[in-house]
Amino acid sequence: MSHASAHAAGHVEVHQEAHAHHHHTSLGIPNQKLGTWIFIASESMFFAALITTYMVYRYRSVVGPHPDEVVNIPLTTVSTFILLMSSLTMALGVSAAHRGEMRQVGKFLAITILGGLGFLVIQFYEWWHLAHDFGLTWRTNIFGSIFYILTGFHKAHVIAGMVWLAVIAISSFRGTLRKEHAVNVDVAGLYWHFVDVVWIVIFTLVFLLTEAGV
Amino acid sequence: MDTLEKAQQAAHPTTRDYLKVGVTLFVLTVAEVVAIYLGLPRALLAAVLVVLSAWKFLLVAQFFMHLKFDSRIYAGFFAVGIVLAVLITLAVTVIIL
């Protein structure tokens, strides 16, 4: 047996020992994580289709308002910052789970949920602002349609993530979350970070490039 | 604590590392916003914004999502998703334009 294959076999063996209580794929990695990554891969395609449709149709409206008339960079920047920092607290929560500090997990997840809530409050305010002050609804023009669909689907993902994190946080505060459940925190974290990276792309393509006139 | 857990904890980022990534993400976001008011040529500005955005994307994927430290199988699946996403982008663009 070569050194590389011996090393690989040893790695798989040790990995299996460490996660003996989890279901594993034949590759020696947890099913939950592999499944979550495959889900994330499919979600990448989903959002790529929405973002591309937005980019292609954004300036094809016959009637206004048009994107460059309505984007609010300061407000969106604040919400972006809040979402980015919620990813930081999520990462700290996952790290705490791997250390076995399960009470800390609940605290970090609670802060993450608050971050998600802050993001949503600002985003819904922006929707209200667009509808109330610019008369832009999803029926106004093609820009309104795809803008609300794109950002709406992202909001729905944030809400789903908050519910997921809340379930884990409650489990943590009740004392039923144990170190062997760390992989559950891990996959919830992966989902939350994915929602964050999608927003990183949306923030640049939908807001910053529009403000820059690109 | 078994061997793998020790190895994982050694390989995984520390709280300090996470905070550094958080600060970097903040700085890059500020840089993006500042860049749009610098009066750069449009093509250059678009390139700068895409690079800064990709940098943030990679930081989150590598450190917060642990792609830098976990099994490469995960990175492989994610890469497949991203490649297909790019193909979808090209396909939708070609179909609509």
The string of pLDDT tens digits covering residues A142-172 is 999 999 999 999 999 999 999 999 999 999 9
pLDDT band at A15 (very low <50, low <70, confident <90, very high): very low
Where in chain B are the domains?
3-66, 71-97
pLDDT at residue A21, rounded to an integer = 52
Report ipTM for this prediction.
0.88
Chain A interface, best mutation among B60, B83, B86, by max A CB count within 10 A: B60
Where in chain A are the domains?
30-211
pLDDT at residue A22, rounded to an integer = 59
Please answer yes or no on whether A200 and B8 come within 8 Å at the CB atom.
no
Q: Two tokens at A67?
A: 């994107």
Q: Could you name the CATH architecture of A30-211?
A: Up-down Bundle (1.20)
In 10 A of CB B20, how many CB atoms? Answer: 14
Round to whole Å and give the CA distance between A38 and A46: 13
The interface residues of chain B toward chain A in range 25-84, judged by CB-CB distance below 8 A, are 25-26, 29, 32-33, 35-36, 42, 45-46, 49-50, 52-53, 56-57, 60-61, 63-65, 70-71, 73-74, 77-78, 80-82, 84
pLDDT tens by residue, A92-129: 999 999 999 999 999 999 999 999 999 999 999 999 99
Nearest CA in chain A to B67: A190
The interface residues of chain A toward chain B in range 35-64, judged by CB-CB distance below 8 A, are 37-38, 40-45, 47-49, 51-53, 55-57
pLDDT tens by residue, B64-83: 999 999 989 999 999 999 99
pLDDT tens by residue, B8-41: 545 678 999 999 999 999 999 999 999 999 989 9
Residue type, A95: S
Round to whole Å and give the CA distance between B11 and A189: 18
pLDDT at residue A213, rounded to an integer = 82
In chain B, which residues have their Cβ closer than 8 Å to the Cβ of A99? 9
DSSP annotation of A25 reads -
